[in-house]
A and B are shown apart, each in its own frame.
Chain A
C-alpha cells in the first residue's frame, strides 16, 4: 500500500485541480475571479434576498367558465332546433376541491323533445355526461378525463402567463414551475431572486388582466337594482350588466353592455404606458391586424354610439365613438406611471385563465440577506480558526494533516455545490460548519487510535496503518447513519431543511475521502521519506 504514494498523490492533485476549476474557473484577472466565484457559488434566496412564493390556481374559475360557455352555446343550439326549456343554470363551486362538482341543470325540456335534446348533447357537447333527473329535467356533469385535462391545462397556461409577466420585469433567473403533482395539485412555485419590491410583483402576478371592449347598450344607472327595475326585472337578451367603480368626484355607475365583446385581451398586439393631453397616466394598446379590421368595421358603422373598456369585470372607461378607429385604444384614469406600466405589462403578457391565491410567501429583503452572509462567514471563519488552533496545539505535526484535510474538504464541498448547481443557503452554511465538526471527528478518531497503538508499543509505521484501519469502520458507521438521516430530510423536508441536508451529505462524502484517503497519503509520504523515524509528532 505504501508503495503507491505517487499514484495516490496524483489522484489527490487531480481532485484539487478539478475542484478549484469548479469554483473559480480560468480567471484572467482579479475581477474575473470574483465574478466567477459569484457565478459558480449560487446563493439561496435567504442569503441574497428575494421572494419565494407558492400560489394556487383557482381552477374552479376555469371550470365555471367552461360551464358558462357551454350554457351559452346550448341555448343557441336549442333555439336553432326549437327545443324549449325553462332554465339552464349551473352550480357555483367555490373552492379548488369542489371544482369537480361542477354541474349544469337543465329544467323544463318537453318530454316530446327528449330524443332531440339527447342527440343534441351527444353531438355537440360530448365532454358532458347527461343524467336525467325527471322526465323534463336533466343534470350535466363534466367527464372526469375532460376535468383533468381542463384543470391541467389551466395550470399550464397560468404558469406560462406568470412566466411571461415576470420575464418582462427583467428579474434575473426567476423560477416558475408546477408545485406538487401535476393534475391533482394546482399550485405553482415562484422564486424571484433579488426582487426588492415583492408586494408590487405579487400584485402584477395576481391581476387576471381580462380585457374586453364592449358596446354600451344603455346607461349609466345608479345601481344594479335601478338598471334591472327599468328593464322589468330581467336583463334583455344578449346583454350584461357591468359596474364602473367611482373615481374622482364621479360616483359609481352601472351600464348595460352587449354580451359578446368586440375586442378581447387576446386581440392585443402591444400595450405601453403613456400620458394624455392633461399629463394624466394611461395605458395605450394596439390591436392585431385581424382584430383591427374588425374594430374598424364596427366603429365605422357605430359612430355616435358608446364603447366601454372592461378590465377584470369592471368598467374602466366609457367613451363615445367619434370616428372610425383602426387599431388602437387606451385605458384611462390611472394613478401613477408605475400603475400604468404595470397594467401595460400584464396586458402584453396575456390574461390568466383563472384567478390565483397566494398560499405562502417568504420574502427576504436585501439587507437581511447581506447581514446573514456576513454573519455566516464570520461564524464559519471563527469556528474554523478555533478548530485549527486546537488541532495544531493538540496533535502538533499531525495536526497539519488534519488541517490540510479540512481545507480540502471545504474546497470539495464548494466545488460540488458549483458542479451540481446546488444553492448555498443559510442552513446550508450551518451544514458546512457541521461538516467541519464531523471532519474533525474523523481525524480525532484516527489520531487517537494511532496514539493508542503507539502506547501499546507498536512501531510507528504499523501503528499508523492500524490506526487508520481500526478507525475505518467507526467512520463508516457514523457517516452512514448521518447520510441516512440526511436522505430522509431531503425526501420529506422542505426549503431550509433540504439545503441543510444537501450540503451536509456532500460534506460527509468529501470527508471520507479527505480524512481517510488524503490524510493517509500524507502520513505515508512522511513515513516513506525517513525509514528510521524515531518519533511521530502526534
Chain B
C-alpha cells in the first residue's frame, strides 16, 4: 500500500500563503499573550500553595471559598477542572507568599476542609482521607472486640487492600458507602460493621498538594529557561557542524516559530504553562528539528547528485521525495500523542496538548518555513554574487536550464 508515489507537488510555489498563515498565527498568539497580560503559569512557576481535591459529585465551590477565605490570608482561588472527565475535581490555591505562611496556609486548607465537610466532632476517622497507619491504629482494638481474629500482618494486609481498593479507578479516592468494600477479598460483614462504627466517609479526597516557595520557584524558572536555551543552542551547533550554517539557522528559526505558535495557542485556550509543558515544548523542538533534518539531509544528498538543478526545484524535489515518510511519521506520532491526549488524564493534559498542536505545526514548518529560508538565503547570496561578477554569471544560469531534464532522469 502506498499513498504517495512519485509525487511532484510544487510546494515552494505556495510558500507565501503559508508564510502568511504562519505570521497570522504567530501574531494572534503574541497578541493573545499581551491581551491576557502575560502567560498563565502553573504553580511551578508562579509560586504558591495548591491543593487538588476530588469530590463525590459536583464540588460545592462557593461553600469552600467561603470557608477558606476567613482562614487564609490573601486571595484564595477555587477553580474547577475544565475537562469533562474530571469535573468533580477542583484546585484550591493561594497566591505567592513567604514559605512559612504558605505552610500555615496549606495546613489551614486541610483542616478547614476536614472541619467544614467532615465530621471531626464525631471522633471518627475519615476513611476517604485516612493513612494506612491511622486506619490500622483505629480498627485494631475494635476488631478484636468484634471477635475478628487477625494477625498483625493480616490486619495490615487487609487495611492496605481496602485503601488500595478505594484509591483505584473508577473510585479514585472516594467510596460513598462502606458496603462497597465487600468487593475486597477478606472483608466480611463484621469488618464492615467495625468500619461503620469507627469511621465516616467525607465527601472529598485530597489528591495532591503542591507548595512552591519563592526560593525554589526562582530556581525552577531559571533552570527551565536555561534548559531551553542550552538545548536550542546545542542543536544549532550540531546542525551547523553537520550542514552549512544557514541550515542550522533555518532549523532553529523553524523551531522558534513552532514554539511561539504553540505558546500562543496555550494563551488562546487559556491553558497553564507548567514544568511538564516545558518538557513538551522541548520535545516538540526535538521533533520539529528531526523533521527538518530529514528534508535537509535529502537536499544535501541531492545537491551532490543534481549539481545543475536550480535550488528551488531541487528543494521541491527533496520535499516530494521525503513526503511519504513525513506523512507516515507525523501521522503515526500524531496517533500516539492523540492517545496521550485522550487517555492520559488531567496531569498530562497540558503536555499532550502541546504535542498535538506542536506536531502539526512542526511538520508544516519544515516544509514551509525552514526550506524557504535556505532558498531565500541562497537566492540572495547568488544575486549578490551576480552583481559583483557582473554579466558573466548570467549565461551560466541560462545554460543550466537545458541540462536539468537530463539530470532529473539520472536522479530517478
List residues of A whose CB falls within 8 A of some B CB.
Answer: 46, 54, 56, 170, 195-200, 202, 337-338, 357-372, 374-376, 378-380, 382-384, 386-387, 390-391, 393-396, 426-427, 430, 433-434, 436-438, 440-441, 444-445, 448, 451-452, 455-456, 470, 473-474, 477-478, 480-482, 484-489, 491-497, 500-501, 504
Contacts and interface: CB of A to CB of B under 8 A. Distances in A.
B289 interface: yes
B106 interface: yes
Contact of A484 (B167, B234, B342): B234
21 contacts: A358-B99, A358-B211, A359-B213, A363-B208, A366-B167, A372-B347, A437-B287, A444-B325, A448-B322, A474-B293, A474-B297, A484-B231, A485-B234, A485-B285, A485-B286, A489-B227, A489-B279, A492-B223, A495-B275, A496-B279, A500-B283
Interface in B159-208: 163-164, 166-169, 171-174, 205-208
B13 interface: no
Interface stretch (B24-32, B263-271, B330-338): B330-338
Given A360-B213, A379-B339, A430-B351, A390 B276 contact: no
Interface in B121-151: 130-134, 137
B328 interface: yes
A199, A337, A365, A433: most-surrounded residue (chain B CB, <10 A): A365
Contact of A375 (B1, B322, B333, B343): B343
B1 A489 contact: no
Contact of A364 (B137, B208, B290): B208
A197 to B, nearest CB: 4
A383 B335 contact: yes
Given A360-B213, A427-B351, A500-B279, A365 B329 contact: no
Given A482-B290, A497-B227, A368 B131 contact: no
Nearest to A399: B1
Interface in B1-44: 1-2, 5-6
Interface stretch (B235-243, B377-385, B390-398): B235-243
A383 B336 contact: yes
A250 B172 CA distance: 46
A433 B337 contact: yes
Given A197-B134, A360-B216, A497-B227, A441 B290 contact: yes
Contact of A481 (B173, B290, B331, B332): B290
Interface string B251-291: 00000000000000000000000011011101101110110
Given A379-B342, A495-B275, 19 more contacts: A196-B163, A197-B131, A199-B107, A358-B103, A360-B211, A365-B208, A382-B343, A390-B331, A391-B332, A427-B276, A427-B279, A430-B279, A436-B336, A445-B329, A470-B301, A473-B297, A477-B293, A485-B282, A496-B279
B142 to A, nearest CB: 14
B331 A361 contact: no
Contacts of A493: 223-224, 227, 279
A501 B227 CA distance: 11
B234 A488 contact: yes
A338 B138 CA distance: 11
A488 B231 contact: yes
Contacts of B328: 394, 440, 444, 448
Contacts of A494: 219-220, 223-224, 275
A378 B282 CA distance: 24
Contacts of A480: 238
B340 A438 contact: no
Given A375-B343, A433-B337, A448-B325, A496 B293 contact: no
A38 to B, nearest CB: 13
Interface residues of B, number: 95
A173 to B, nearest CB: 16
Nearest to B335: A386
Given A444-B325, A485-B231, A438 B290 contact: yes
Interface in B307-353: 321-322, 324-325, 328-329, 331-333, 335-340, 342-345, 347-348, 351-352
B332 A387 contact: yes
Interface in B42-75: 52, 54
> Secondary structure of the B side of the interface?
helix
B412 interface: yes
B403 to A, nearest CB: 20
A362 B210 CA distance: 4
A387 B286 CA distance: 20
A275 to B, nearest CB: 13
Contacts of A337: 137
B110 interface: yes
B351 A440 contact: no
Contacts of B280: 430
State the majority secondary structure of interface residues on A. helix
B226 interface: yes
Contacts of A448: 322, 324-325, 328
B294 A474 contact: yes
B227 A492 contact: yes
A375 B348 contact: yes
Given A444-B325, A474-B294, A494-B220, A481 B211 contact: no
Nearest to B212: A360
Contact of A492 (B103, B168, B230, B324): B230
B49 to A, nearest CB: 8
Nearest to B296: A477
B334 to A, nearest CB: 9
Given A200-B131, A488-B230, A437 B282 contact: no
Nearest to B220: A494
Contacts of B226: 492
B76 to A, nearest CB: 18
B290 A433 contact: no
B102 to A, nearest CB: 8
Nearest to A396: B1
A481 to B, nearest CB: 5
A382 B213 contact: no
Contact of A359 (B130, B215, B331, B339): B215
B251 to A, nearest CB: 9
B293 A481 contact: yes
B100 interface: yes
Contacts of A46: 347
Contacts of B130: 196
A365 to B, nearest CB: 5
Contacts of B137: 337-338
A123 B351 CA distance: 64
B2 to A, nearest CB: 7
Contact of A199 (B110, B235, B322): B110
Nearest to B2: A451
A455 B6 contact: yes
A167 to B, nearest CB: 15
A368 B208 contact: yes
A485 B213 contact: no
Nearest to B290: A478
Given A357-B100, A376-B344, A198 B216 contact: no
Contact of B210 (A196, A361, A436, A484): A361
A434 to B, nearest CB: 6
B387 interface: no
A394 B342 contact: no
B290 A370 contact: no
Contacts of A491: 227, 230
Nearest to A474: B297
B207 A368 contact: yes
A379 B301 CA distance: 38
Nearest to B251: A481
A454 to B, nearest CB: 11
Nearest to B324: A448
B278 A390 contact: no
A367 B348 contact: no
A184 B165 CA distance: 46
A384 B332 CA distance: 10
B360 interface: no
Nearest to A497: B279
